[in-house]
Chain A
Amino acid sequence: MTFDPEKIAHEFPILARKVHGKPLVYLDSAASSQKPEAVIDAVSTYYRTIHANVHRGVHTLSEEATAAYEAARESVRGFLHAASPREVVFVRGTTEAINLVAQAWARPRLQPGDEVMISELEHHSNLVPWQMVCGQTGAKLVVAPIDARGEVIVEEYARRLGPRTRVVALAHVSNALGTVLPVAELVALAKRHGAVAVVDGAQAVPHMAVDVRALGCDFYAFSGHKMYGPTGIGALWGKLELLEAMEPWQGGGSMIHDVTFEKTEYARPPERFEAGTPDISGAVGLHAAIEWLSALDLDAVQRHESDLVAYASARLAEIPEVRLIGTARERAGLVSFVVGDVHAHDVGTILDGEGVAVRAGHHCAQPVMDHFDVPATARASFAVHNTRADVDSLVAGVRRVLEIFA
């Protein structure tokens, strides 16, 4: 099957709209991807035909809704190549998943003087939850530095590991720079010291096939909305023995086995971590997104998007005023750049005037901005529906920025 982004673009209703009278060129999928018809229809059909609460009623709709919700869990298991659907906890997104691990796994286990290691390029959602749990426990946050290309310096990372390292939390792909981290290698190094490895997969799952068992990590988190699924749903995968050993972090319905006023016996994972009515339609939409994306062939997706990253980098590099931020040897899904001394927000506003949507800002990764000594960057991120023509529109927009600020 040939990979045809223009044909794929027709499956996204929103891409037919115009912005400021110009055709929309959507280059902000790293913030949130657009949704194909298959996902929109799945959510709509769910509400039109089978909605009821899950794991509760004995009536037909509840049974069907429960089956749909659990089928979504099984699809996440397959998507991540995990061993069991019991290892898949539905959450609101990556942020909630990481907070869950920080509070339910790390908080009761960290001792004063223990260490939590992250990298310098983490999104705030894989930094602040660890900072918080360090504050709560007296553990220390250790940061593995990146080099001028935006790659984690493996030797420096290895040097900072030690007997006190209890948790290593790393992005699979940097949201600010697109750097693909050598996660399997970094996890293997952490495992020599017995650390638990948590991987933020938010920017990886839309772009590449992920096999959590091959990565060797203990937890893997991702969001549905960055991989063509709905907002408000994501998943945490965790090794079953770790999930089994964890106390719940929220109490309520669904997460119990037996309740009296004296004592509550908790349900097994994953229900133990899913208190309250979950986002059932979100899970159904995520299932549809996984099926839709998998049908495209993730290896073909990766090749297509690598081509766009390479093409965009080369075209932008032709403009002397443009400085690419992050030039890692392996990058996925995006290019980050600054245009002369024009602030990224001005770049973003002018590109928007041309119908080109990019992210402008610090990308919730202020330490990365500090590393490159820029307050913000413009970031163009790619999805399966983008083409080289979209990159050409971006480049034309950047030239317009330079005209206005000439």
Chain B
Amino acid sequence: MSDLRDLYQEVILDHTKHPRNFGPLGSATHRATGRNPLCGDQLVLMLDVHHDRVRDARFAGKGCAISTASASLLTEAVKGKTTAEVHSLFERFHDVVTAPADAKPDLEGLGKLAALAGVREFPMRVKCASLAWHTLEAALAGASEPVSTE
């Protein structure tokens, strides 16, 4: 394992201690619940989507540093994007966090989400980073069942 600071970068610690866009979203048009039964993490993702564009995104719930920071960063990243752009960002993000630990990830265009790239060196923690994103996909798909990482 490389240095733990690769996992717990300043950006991640900052977003864990001070999650952005945290709390209810009155104007939500889409919402979904995500659970990671192994850790007991649970989060609710709420989106305000208008004309296929995410106007606002917020989340609630509790989880580990990685899942909380990932959800917080996600809400910042998707605001203003079209749903197609969000899907594409999810795929890029997913490729990065699931890449082999020794591969050099392509971080271009990921912005602050790149801080989560260190997760790929901790296979047990990839689910923590992905939970918010799977929940986002479920919200956009209008799923009524909670998403589970298992």
Contact = CB atoms under 8 A, between A and B. Distances in A.
A375 B38 CA distance: 10
Nearest to A347: B64
B1 interface: yes
Contact of A343 (B38, B64, B122): B64
B92 interface: no
For chain B, the bracket of interface size reads: 20 to 34
A343 B8 CA distance: 13
A125 interface: no
A361 B39 contact: yes
B58 to A, nearest CB: 21
A232 interface: no
Given A343-B64, A405-B13, A349 B39 contact: no
B110 to A, nearest CB: 22
Nearest to B39: A345
Nearest to B7: A349
Interface residues of A, number: 19
B10 to A, nearest CB: 11
A338 to B, nearest CB: 12
B4 A369 contact: no
A150 B4 CA distance: 34
Contact of B40 (A20, A349, A350, A362): A362
B116 to A, nearest CB: 14
B128 interface: yes
A32 interface: no
Interface in A363-382: 366, 369, 375-376
Nearest to A352: B1
Nearest to B36: A345
A342 interface: yes
Contact of A349 (B13, B41, B122): B122
Interface string B1-23: 10011011000010000000000
Given A344-B39, A345-B39, A404 B64 contact: no
A299 interface: no
Contacts of B38: 361
Given A343-B41, A366-B40, 14 more contacts: A345-B39, A345-B64, A346-B64, A346-B66, A352-B1, A353-B4, A361-B38, A362-B39, A369-B40, A375-B39, A376-B39, A376-B40, A404-B4, A404-B5
- Please give me the 8 A-B residue pairs with the lowest Cβ-Cβ distance, nearest first: A343-B64, A375-B40, A345-B64, A20-B1, A346-B65, A353-B4, A362-B40, A345-B39
Interface of B: 1, 4-5, 7-8, 13, 38-42, 62-66, 122, 124-125, 128
9 contacts: A346-B64, A353-B4, A361-B39, A361-B40, A369-B40, A375-B39, A375-B41, A376-B39, A404-B8
